[in-house]
Structure 1
Amino acid sequence: MIKFENVTKTYEGGFQAVKSVNFEIKEGELLVLIGPSGSGKSTTMKMINRIIPHTSGTVSIDDKDIKSYKASELRRNIGYVIQQIGLFPHYTIEKNIAIVPQLKGWDEKDIQPRVKELLELVGLDPKIHATRYPKELSGGQQQRVGIARALASNPDIILMDEPFSALDPITREQLQAELLTLHKKLKKTIVFVTHDMDEALKMGDRIAIMKDGKLLQLDTPEKLLHEPAHGFVEEFIGKHRIIQNPELMPVTEIMSETIVTSPPQRSPERALALIRQRKITNLVILSDDKKLLGIVSAYDLLKQFDVIDTIDDIMVPAKLVLLDTATAKDAIVMIDEAPFGMIPVVDSDQKIVGLVTRGSLLSAMSSQWTETEEDTIE
Structure 2
Amino acid sequence: MVLLEVKNVSKKFGDSEVLKNINFTLDEGEVLGILGRSGAGKSVLLHMLRGMEGYEPTEGQIIYTVAQCDGCGSVEVPSMENQKCSCGGNYELISVDFWDKNQTTFNLKRKIAIMLQRTFALYGEQSVIENILQALSAAGYEGKEATNIALKLIKMIKMEHRITHVARDLSGGEKQRVVLARQIAKKPIIFLADEPTGTLDPKIAKIVHKALKETVVKNKIGMVITSHWHEVIEELANKAIWLEKGEIKEQGDSKEIVAKFVETITELKKFDKVEIKEDMAILENVEKKYCSVERGIVNAVGGVSLDIKEMEIYGLVGTSGAGKTTLSKIIAGVIPPSKGKYIFRVGDEWVDMTQPGPMHRGRAKRYIGMLFQEYTLYPHRTILYNLTESIGLELPGEFGMMKANQVLVSVGFTEEEAEKLLDKYPNELSVGEKHRVALAQVLIKEPHMVLLDEPTGTMDPITRNQVAESIQKSRAELEQTYVIVSHDMDFVLNVCDRVALMRGGKIIKIGAPEEIVQILTEEEKEEMIGH
Name the TM tier (shorter chain): 0.5 to 0.7
Q: Which residue of 2 aligns with 1:111?
A: 146
Offset of 1:157 from its aligned partner?
A: 0.8
* Kept in 1: contact 2:173–2:200 (CA 8 A): yes
SS in 2 for 1:48: helix
- The separation in 1 between residues aligned to 2:136 and 2:150, in whole angstroms, is 10
Of residues 158, 161, 166, the one that matches 1:133 is 166
Of residues 274, 277, 280, the one that matches 2:526 is 280
* Kept in 2: contact 1:225–1:237 (CA 8 A): no
- The separation in 2 between residues aligned to 1:222 and 1:178, in whole angstroms, is 21
Matches within 5 A, 1:272-311: 274-277=521-524, 279-280=525-526
Offset of 1:148 from its aligned partner?
A: 0.7
Cα deviations across residues 281-312 of structure 1 (Å, max 9, x unaligned)? 69xxxxxxxxxxxxxxxxxxxxxxxxxxxxxx
Give the structure with the higher percent helix: 1
- The separation in 2 between residues aligned to 1:132 and 1:147, in whole angstroms, is 17
Cα deviations across residues 19-77 of structure 1 (Å, max 9, x unaligned)? 11110112112211111111111111111111122222111111322134456533311
TM-score in terms of structure 2 length = 0.42
Matches within 5 A, 1:52-131: 52-62=55-65, 63-68=95-100, 69-70=102-103, 72-83=106-117, 84-108=119-143, 110-125=145-160, 128-131=161-164
* Kept in 1: contact 2:136–2:182 (CA 8 A): no
- The separation in 2 between residues aligned to 1:57 and 1:200, in whole angstroms, is 26
- The separation in 1 between residues aligned to 2:258 and 2:12, in whole angstroms, is 32
- The separation in 2 between residues aligned to 1:276 and 1:41, in whole angstroms, is 33
Say if 1:105 and 1:219 are closer, same or farther in 2 by CA, change over 3 A: same
* Kept in 2: contact 1:31–1:205 (CA 8 A): yes
Q: Which residue of 2 aligns with 1:308?
A: none
- The separation in 1 between residues aligned to 2:190 and 2:217, in whole angstroms, is 14
Aligned residue type for 2:63: S
Matches within 5 A, 1:34-53: 34-51=35-52, 52-53=55-56
SS in 2 for 1:31: strand
Matched, 1:15 2:16: yes
Offset of 1:238 from its aligned partner?
A: 8.0
* Kept in 2: contact 1:32–1:207 (CA 8 A): yes
- The separation in 1 between residues aligned to 2:265 and 2:225, in whole angstroms, is 17
- The separation in 2 between residues aligned to 1:136 and 1:237, in whole angstroms, is 36
* Kept in 1: contact 2:7–2:24 (CA 8 A): yes
Matched, 1:152 2:152: no
* Kept in 2: contact 1:76–1:100 (CA 8 A): no
Offset of 1:6 from its aligned partner?
A: 0.6
Aligned residue type for 1:29: E
Say if 1:56 and 1:2 are closer, same or farther in 2 by CA, change over 3 A: same
Comparing 40-49 with 172-181, greater Cα deviation is found at: 172-181
Aligned residue type for 1:180: K
Offset of 1:105 from its aligned partner?
A: 5.0
SS in 2 for 1:47: helix
Aligned residue type for 2:99: K
* Kept in 2: contact 1:49–1:74 (CA 8 A): no
Q: Which residue of 2 aligns with 1:4?
A: 6
SS in 2 for 1:180: helix
Matches within 5 A, 1:208-247: 208-224=241-257, 233=261, 235-236=263-264
Aligned residue type for 1:186: N
Q: Which has the larger radius of gyration?
A: 2
Matched, 1:165 2:198: yes
Give the structure with the higher percent strand: 2
Uncovered stretches (5+) of structure 2, i.e. residues with no partner: 66-94, 268-503, 509-518
Aligned residue type for 1:56: E
Cα deviations across residues 174-194 of structure 1 (Å, max 9, x unaligned)? 322332233343221111111
How many positions carry a matched residue from both structures?
A: 247
Q: Which residue of 2 aligns with 1:328?
A: none
Aligned residue type for 2:64: I
Uncovered stretches (5+) of structure 1, i.e. residues with no partner: 240-268, 283-356, 360-378
CA RMSD of aligned residues (A): 3.2
Say if 1:280 and 1:162 are closer, same or farther in 2 by CA, change over 3 A: same
Aligned residue type for 2:521: L
- The separation in 1 between residues aligned to 2:36 and 2:258, in whole angstroms, is 15
Say if 1:225 and 1:31 are closer, same or farther in 2 by CA, change over 3 A: closer
